[in-house]
């Protein structure tokens, strides 16, 4: 890569006089611009050295890649004469004149609380679906499975109890997660949930007599909003008491007073008031669904993916948990979760549109991205498809909206409903109420077929020029020679690669890159790989090879293995802003290392307290040169355990 030429092209495409400030992190240039309309987006999309672009938080980010981005940034500063800034300084520049959005802040709060407890609700919901499968008549005849095979009645009863537990004691789950988000002691938050659900409560007809004040012994099983408010109050009390009480009595009396005061306020004021609010919200949503029916589902399906692009969908789990709790409480008599059904239609439609682009495009880079992004969308993760393919060309996105809208309307007409959360895609049938699974399958088929056909037919007449423009036109012998040299170089690189297994660089829980809260990683713009939620702060070499990148900020490392894999280890999100604080590094660029050698350490708790996500990303940055890159571990890993398999071309 000619770093100066890349910098010159980026400057030309965004217009030099349009740049207010510039910084860089481990993978991308970060620019604050005066006017986004001046950007030559088509030129940047066609640039072979630019891996992608996107706009977030007032910054226009140009993805260059680890190692190269430093040199490109240096050249950009030399050419423009701009002052060098850290990413933290750039955030302040970008924030000037921007108003904070309280709605998005609230949605992020709900997301932080509910996303961690979703696995428990998914498990409970799927168990509920299994029990419904066993006890519902009409699936395999006039009788239910339990009636036909009485010997499994005990198993069915056991499953029913297990399925109900996460919903009955939801305040405990929410209390624990909310306490972490609000900065309170998690066990005290859990205790608040227990106080609200203890079996010793007599119910709404029983009362405590407090000096003539009759307080109902309401049990808050299945509730969400009351416990959220109660734990928020707990967090305020706990923080204040830590400040007010002397250290000699703080350890004993802060938990005591926090829990006692919160419990009293919960039983007397918070619980009764916000249970009414919670019931009103749930009833209003159910009423809206019952009233608008198929029409409402259709409108929701038509707009769902657009909502996803804004991030507003992160608030949906808070609503869905209430719907599922009511569904569990009424043993299937309520409407269930129609939001999940709509999400399935929308995600499948976006996946279908992405596959249509795969068959339309002649661009090899786009073929690779659209095929992997399409599979991801069909399995319920749409970010790569949305941001990497469909929104780029625009019309596939809108064709998918139409397919989703039609399919959601049909699902509404057929009263398709979900009994659990899960993977909102082809595997979504696992969460669907058994009686409605056949119509769910038909709805999904409608969504896929309409989105694919619309995208393909429209694209035949409108995608040709856009795709052609992505392949740089060859008009002279010099260009032909350069293209041939590039092709030969890639071919040699591919042939030199070998199959390899990349180890985990840190202890923790592996998860999909698509779950990472950063579009560069979630859309796999830097390459495929895996993310790890770390349980320990020591970072180890996942391969034997050479250190190609060792940033001064100590938050990222690049290693080229002896078998050819280029591995980027990125510790946390936006942790470059910490400027090396809470990090320690033991290696230098150019150093030879063996698999298992210590690269560095990070104080995870200190980084969390500073407000940063500590997720560790392991990315194969030369993914395009491999036939396949796949995460091979879902269970918790220790450093050195197998994490990613890379398969070379034969």
Q: Which residues are annotated as catalytic?
A: 25, 570
Whether 80 and 14 have beta carbons less than 8 Å apart is answered as no
563/489 Cα distance (integer angstroms): 17
Q: What are phi and psi of 96, to 5 degrees?
A: -65, 125
DSSP state of 86: -
Q: What are phi and psi of 24, to 5 degrees?
A: -150, 155
Q: What is the DSSP string of 326-354?
A: HHHHTTT-S--BHHHHHHHHHHHHHHHHH
Q: What are phi and psi of 462, to 5 degrees?
A: -125, -15
Q: What are phi and psi of 422, to 5 degrees?
A: 175, -155
Whether 115 and 317 have beta carbons less than 8 Å apart is answered as yes
Please, is 37 exposed, middle or buried when counting C-beta atoms within 10 Å of its C-beta (0-12, 13-18, 19+)? exposed
549/553 Cα distance (integer angstroms): 11
192/181 Cα distance (integer angstroms): 15
Please, is 371 exposed, middle or buried when counting C-beta atoms within 10 Å of its C-beta (0-12, 13-18, 19+)? middle
63/542 Cα distance (integer angstroms): 24
Contacting residues for 256 by C-beta, under 8 A, at least 6 apart: none
Contacting residues for 644 by C-beta, under 8 A, at least 6 apart: 501, 502, 529, 530, 618, 620, 629, 630, 631, 632
Neighbouring C-beta atoms of residue 252, cutoff 10 Å: 10
Cα three-residue angle 225-518-581, rounded to 5 degrees: 95
Distance (Å) of CA 292 to CA 283, 299, 316, 327, 437: 14, 10, 19, 19, 22
Whether 369 and 388 have beta carbons less than 8 Å apart is answered as yes
Note the Cα 245 to chain centre separation in Å: 40
Contacting residues for 282 by C-beta, under 8 A, at least 6 apart: 322, 323, 326
């Amino acid at each position: 890569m000619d770093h100066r030429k890349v910098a010159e092209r980026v400057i030309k495409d965004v217009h030099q006089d349009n740049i207010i400030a510039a910084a860089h992190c481990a993978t991308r240039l970060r620019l604050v611009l005066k006017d986004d309309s001046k950007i030559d987006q088509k030129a940047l999309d066609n640039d072979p050295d630019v891996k992608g672009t996107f706009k977030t938080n007032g910054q226009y980010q140009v993805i260059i890649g680890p190692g190269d981005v430093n040199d490109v940034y240096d050249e950009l500063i030399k050419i423009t004469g701009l002052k060098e800034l850290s990413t933290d300084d750039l955030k302040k520049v970008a924030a000037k004149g921007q108003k904070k959005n309280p709605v998005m802040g609230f949605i992020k709060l709900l997301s932080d609380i509910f996303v961690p407890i979703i696995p428990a609700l998914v498990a409970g919901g799927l168990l509920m679906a299994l029990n419904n499968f066993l006890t519902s008549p009409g699936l395999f005849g006039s009788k239910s499975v339990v009636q036909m095979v009485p010997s499994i009645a005990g198993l069915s009863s056991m499953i029913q109890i297990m399925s109900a537990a996460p919903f009955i004691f939801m305040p405990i789950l929410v209390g624990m997660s909310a306490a972490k988000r609000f900065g309170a002691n998690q066990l005290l938050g859990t205790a608040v949930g227990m106080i609200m659900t203890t079996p010793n409560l007599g119910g709404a007809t029983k009362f405590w007599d407090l000096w003539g004040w009759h307080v109902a012994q309401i049990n808050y099983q299945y509730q969400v909003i009351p416990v959220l408010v109660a734990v928020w109050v707990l967090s305020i009390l706990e923080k204040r008491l830590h400040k007010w009480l002397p250290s000699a009595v703080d350890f004993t009396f802060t938990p005591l007073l926090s829990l006692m005061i919160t419990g009293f306020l919960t039983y007397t004021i918070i619980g009764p008031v916000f249970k009414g609010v919670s019931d009103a919200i749930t009833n209003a949503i159910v009423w809206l669904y019952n009233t608008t029916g198929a029409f409402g589902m259709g409108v929701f399906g038509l707009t769902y993916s657009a909502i996803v692009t804004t991030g507003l969908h992160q608030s949906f789990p808070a609503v869905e948990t209430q719907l599922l709790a009511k569904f569990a409480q009424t043993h299937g008599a309520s409407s269930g979760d129609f939001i999940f059904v709509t999400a399935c239609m929308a995600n499948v439609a976006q996946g279908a549109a992405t596959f249509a682009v795969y068959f339309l495009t002649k661009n090899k880079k786009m073929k690779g991205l659209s095929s992997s992004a399409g599979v991801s969308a069909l399995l319920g993760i749409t970010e790569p498809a949305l941001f990497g393919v469909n929104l780029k060309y625009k019309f596939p996105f809108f064709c998918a909206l139409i397919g989703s809208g039609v399919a959601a309307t049909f699902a509404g007409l057929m009263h398709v409903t979900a009994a659990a959360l899960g993977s909102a895609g082809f595997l979504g049938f696992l969460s669907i109420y058994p009686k409605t699974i056949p119509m769910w399958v038909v709805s999904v088929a409608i969504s896929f077929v309409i989105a694919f056909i619309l995208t393909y037919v429209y694209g035949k007449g409108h995608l040709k020029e856009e795709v052609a423009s992505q392949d740089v036109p060859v008009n002279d012998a010099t260009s032909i020679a350069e293209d041939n040299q590039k092709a030969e170089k890639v071919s040699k690189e591919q042939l030199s690669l070998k199959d390899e297994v990349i180890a985990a660089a840190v202890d923790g829980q592996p998860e999909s890159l698509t779950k990472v809260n950063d579009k560069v990683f979630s859309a796999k713009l830097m390459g495929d790989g895996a993310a790890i939620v770390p349980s320990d702060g020591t970072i180890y070499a996942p391969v034997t090879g050479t250190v190609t990148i060792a940033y001064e900020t100590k938050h990222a490392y690049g290693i080229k293995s002896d078998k050819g894999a280029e591995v980027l280890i990125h510790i946390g999100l936006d942790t470059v802003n910490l400027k090396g604080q809470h990090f320690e590094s033991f290696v230098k660029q150019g150093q030879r290392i063996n698999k298992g050698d210590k690269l560095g350490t990070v104080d995870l708790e200190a980084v969390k307290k500073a407000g940063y996500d500590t997720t560790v990303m392991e990315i194969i940055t030369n993914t395009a040169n491999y036939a396949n890159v796949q995460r091979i571990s879902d269970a918790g890993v220790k450093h050195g355990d197998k994490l990613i398999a890379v398969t070379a071309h034969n």
